Structure 1
Amino acid sequence: MTQHDLDDEEDDFPEWADRIKANVAGEVRRRRKEMGWSAQDLADQCEQLGHPIPRNVIANMESGRRANLPLVDVMVLAAALETYPVCLIFPVGYVDRTQELPFQDLVPTWDALRRFTGEQDVPMYDAGLVPDFELHASLVRTALAALEEEDRARFAAKTATSRAQQEEAERKRTEYADQAISAKYSLRHLRRDLRDDGATPPDLPPALGDVDPPEPATNTTLEERH
């Protein structure tokens, strides 16, 4: 194989960073045109979001002449184009295969995106507190749904026209009440564990304001208060 052949082969396999920048540039251009915007329109929208990206910078990025692509630019471009940053980095359906890291083989873009977002587990990788927060969100949904169904069953019991209907509604109300209590109990312990790890649990909706135990009352003297 001649040196010319080697150079051609290297050109067929761009550097990882160049490939990622090409992914973003291509998807920014595609999405911009899909929205019927010019490069200036996109620049104006970025400025409105508080992070100006001049029209010539966008044009250079789309044409591959821009040397670097800061993460903050990707985030603002995604918001301006009403999409997600990961969809610019890994344009599923528009780029068939891509690289996740330098020197790695090409993989399906869909797989790369799922590993990037943590949807697909990677052995030995630390997911941090993401699984705990996902569990927290699931428990909140379960608790809220159970409370809503409990209210419906309570109303059905009050408006029942027969004893049988009333008993069935009361049975359902008790069942949903138990589900809500169970979900709240799990939430309380999960939130306690998060705090023990030094983390701040997510905010709770008003309907679940009784999940966290009340703050212990502090006895302060008049002198301490002043």
Structure 2
Amino acid sequence: MTQHGFDPGDDEDDVPEWADQVTATVAGEVRRRRKELGWSAQDLADRCEQVGYPIPRNVIANMESGRRRTLPLVEVMVLAKALNTYPVCLLYPVGYVPRVQQLPYRDAVPTWDAMRWFTGQSEDFGVEDAMLRTFRAHADHQRAALAALDGEKRERWEAETAPSPARREEALEARADYAERAVQAKYRLRVARAFIRDGGGTPPDLPPELSDVDPPEADTTKGNTA
């Protein structure tokens, strides 16, 4: 493997070697998961066909044995679905492969670190993507808002069915607290959605419980009528 500072021109085989390592990692994990499930190569081929993108048994066998040195991304996606896992888990088998060469001309790094880089979860590489960061924040705020609404609903029921005035008062206070949390989470959600739109993006769809987050003018589902 080529190290930092090495002239790539001195070893033209390094990039193909790195690509071969990536393919071998995926092939090894496909084989491990297939055997863990007790499937034959034909069983896996049948499940790929059920997914809607056939990968013949001989192709799977050649991939696992190393005779097939190319692996299209679409096949990684289909194999992951067929094996009931995620594509990233085939590329970066955390817990099964301790280190991987993340890119050509690089030292191997812990597989967990490489996966976090690939999925945009690591900030150790000086990479900044405001839209990705905002979508993550959007998901957090949405979960917080839904949890607060659920808590408010639960405490409302507790207040209505309270066996004593003291318990009713306690439930009403908890309901008010959840209601305030919902308001704050919805506000943060609204800000995130505005940022996404201002950046030229399209915010994720909201569940019915949060239909009041977007202002009326942000509703793009209603077309203009002449």
Give me the TM-score of the superposition, normalised by structure 2. Answer: 0.85
Partners of 1:159 and 1:45 in 2: CA distance: 51
Gaps of at least 5 residues in structure 1 are 1-10
Question: Given the superposition, is the C-alpha separation of residues 144 and 216 from structure 1 closer, same or farther in structure 2, using an over 3 Å criterion?
Answer: closer
Residue 33 of structure 1: aligned partner: 35
Give matches, 1:35-184, under 5 Å.
35-184=37-186
Deviation track 1:173-199 (CA, whole Å, cap 9, x = no partner) reads 211111111111111121111111111
Partners of 2:126 and 2:175 in 1: CA distance: 44
Shift of 1:216: 8.2
Out of 119-128 and 94-103, give the one that drifted further: 119-128
Letter in 2 for 1:61: M
Partners of 2:160 and 2:64 in 1: CA distance: 64
Partners of 1:141 and 1:60 in 2: CA distance: 44
Deviation track 1:41-73 (CA, whole Å, cap 9, x = no partner) reads 111111111111111111111111113111111
Pairing 1:24–2:26 present: yes
**Matched-pair contact (CA < 8 Å) for 2:131–2:199:** no
Moved beyond 4 Å, runs of 4+ = none
Give me the TM-score of the superposition, normalised by structure 1. Answer: 0.85
SS in structure 2 of the partner of residue 15 of structure 1: helix
Partners of 1:143 and 1:216 in 2: CA distance: 19
Deviation track 1:120-148 (CA, whole Å, cap 9, x = no partner) reads 21332133522211111111111111111
Out of 42-51 and 114-123, give the one that drifted further: 114-123
Partners of 2:96 and 2:141 in 1: CA distance: 36
Question: Given the superposition, is the C-alpha separation of residues 113 and 216 from structure 1 closer, same or farther in structure 2, using an over 3 Å criterion?
Answer: closer
Shift of 1:157: 2.2
- Structure exhibiting the larger radius of gyration computed from Cα positions: 1
Flag the structure with more relative contact order, 1 or 2, with Cα contacts below 8 A and sequence separation at least 6.
2
SS in structure 1 of the partner of residue 58 of structure 2: helix
Partners of 1:128 and 1:187 in 2: CA distance: 15
**Matched-pair contact (CA < 8 Å) for 2:23–2:69:** no
Partners of 1:68 and 1:128 in 2: CA distance: 34
Identity within the alignment, %: 62
SS in structure 2 of the partner of residue 129 of structure 1: helix
1:211 to 206, 210, 213: 213
SS in structure 2 of the partner of residue 83 of structure 1: coil
Partners of 2:164 and 2:53 in 1: CA distance: 65
Question: Given the superposition, is the C-alpha separation of residues 161 and 32 from structure 1 closer, same or farther in structure 2, using an over 3 Å criterion?
Answer: closer
